[in-house]
Structure 1
Amino acid sequence: MDISVVLPEECLSKIISLTSPKDACRLSVVSPFFKCAADSDTVWESFLPSDYEGIISNSASSSLFSTCSSKKDLYFHFANKPIFINSANTIFALEKESGKVCCMVGAKAGISVTWGSKSYWTWPSLPESRFPEVAELKPVCWFEVTGKIETKLLSPETTYAAYLVFKFADSRNGFDTRPVELCFHVRGMEEEERSKVFLDAQAGAPNLSQDRGDGWREIEIGEFFKKHGENGGVVYSLFDFDGFSSKHGLIIEGIELRPKSV
Structure 2
Amino acid sequence: MPKGKTIFHCFILAFHSFAGDGLIVFVLGSEWKLRRRFFAGDWAGGLAGELRGVGADVPGPAADMQVAMLNRAFRGASSADFVWESKLPLNYEDVIGRVFEKDGVFFKGLCKRDIYARLCRPNSFDGGTKRVWLDKTTGKTCMLISSNGLAITGIDDRRYWTRIPTEESRFYSVAYLQQIWWLEVYGEIEFPFPAGSYSLFFRLQLGRSHKRFGRRLCNSEHVHGWDKKPARFQLSTSDGQKETKQCYLREPGKWIHYHAGDFIVPSSCKSMKVKFSMTQIDCTHTKGGLCVDSVMIVPVDRTRLQRF
TM class, shorter-length: 0.7 to 0.9
The structure having more radius of gyration, on CA atoms, is: 2
Structural RMSD (CA): 3.8
Task: State the AA in 1 paired with 2:21.
Answer: L
2:180 maps to which residue?
A: 140
TM-score (norm 2): 0.63
Aligned to 2:8: none
Q: Which structure is higher in strand share?
A: 2
Distance 1:231 1:96 in 2: 22
* Residues 58 and 86 in structure 1, CA contact (< 8 A), matched pair in contact too: no
Q: Which of 45, 53, 75 is matched with 2:116 structurally? A: 75
Q: Is structure 2 residue 262 aligned with structure 1 residue 223?
A: yes
AA of the residue aligned to 1:75: Y
Distance 1:73 1:188, change over 3 A: closer
Whether 1:161 aligns to 2:193 is no
Identical residues among aligned pairs (%): 23
1:43 is paired with a residue of what secondary structure? helix
Match of 1:126 among 154, 159, 166: 166
Residues 13 and 38 in structure 1, CA contact (< 8 A), matched pair in contact too? no
Please give the per-residue CA displacement for 1:61-105, whole angstroms capped at 9, x wherever unaligned: 99x96xx986435534543x4121222111011112122121111
Q: 1:89 aligns with which of 119, 129, 141?
A: 129
Q: Give the Cα separation in 2 of the matches to 1:223 and 1:7.
A: 46
Task: Note if contact 1:187-1:232 (Cα within 8 Å) is conserved in structure 2.
Answer: yes
TM-score (norm 1): 0.73
Mark the CA change 1:58 to 1:146 in structure 2 (over 3 Å): closer, same or farther. same
Structure 2: stretches of 5+ with no match in the other structure = 1-13, 24-38, 46-57, 209-218, 303-308
The SS at the match of 2:289 is strand
Q: Does 1:54 align with 2:105?
A: no
Once residues 128 and 83 of structure 2 are traced to their aligned partners in structure 1, the CA distance between those partners, rounded to angstroms, is 30
The yes-or-no answer on 1:200 pairing with 2:250 is yes
In 2, are the aligned partners of 1:78 and 1:93 still within 8 Å (CA)? yes
For residues 20-70 of structure 1, give each alpha carbon's deviation from its aligned partner in whole angstroms, at most 9, with x where no partner exists: x944543664985655433423322442323465356448x99x96xx986
Q: Map Cα deviations across residues 193-243 of structure 1 (whole Å, 9 max, x no partner).
A: 2221122246xxxxxxxx7xxxx4312111111122252211111111222
Match for residue 205 of structure 1? none
Q: Please list, as runs of the form range in 1=range in 2, the aligned pairs for 1:1-262 lying within 5 A after superposition.
A: 4-5=16-17, 6-9=20-23, 12=40, 22-26=59-63, 29=67, 32=71, 36-48=76-88, 49-51=92-94, 53-54=96-97, 57-58=100-101, 71-79=112-120, 81-109=121-149, 111-114=150-153, 118-119=156-157, 120-131=160-171, 133-152=173-192, 154-156=193-195, 158-168=196-206, 169=208, 170-171=219-220, 172-174=222-224, 176-178=226-228, 179-189=230-240, 192-201=242-251, 216-228=255-267, 229=269, 231-261=271-301
Deviation at 1:183, TM superposition (A): 1.4
Aligned length: 239
Q: C-alpha separation between the residues in 2 aligned to 1:175 and 1:199?
A: 10
The CA distance in 2 between the partners of 1:14 and 1:151, in whole Å, is 33
For the residues of structure 2 that align with 1:46 and 1:55, how far apart are their CA atoms?
21
Q: 1:70 to 1:22 in 2, by over 3 A?
A: farther
Amino acid in structure 2 at the alignment position of 1:129: S
The alpha-carbon distance between structure 1 residues 140 and 58, as it changes in their structure 2 partners (threshold 3 A), is same
Q: CA deviation at 1:139?
A: 0.8
| Separation in structure 1 between the aligned mates of residue 41 and residue 62 of structure 2, nearest angstrom | 12
Partners of 2:43 and 2:98 lie apart in 1 by: 27
Tell me the secondary structure at the aligned position of residue 164 of structure 1.
strand
Name the amino acid aligned to 1:112. Answer: A
> Do the aligned partners of 1:174 and 1:245 also contact (CA within 8 Å) in 2?
no
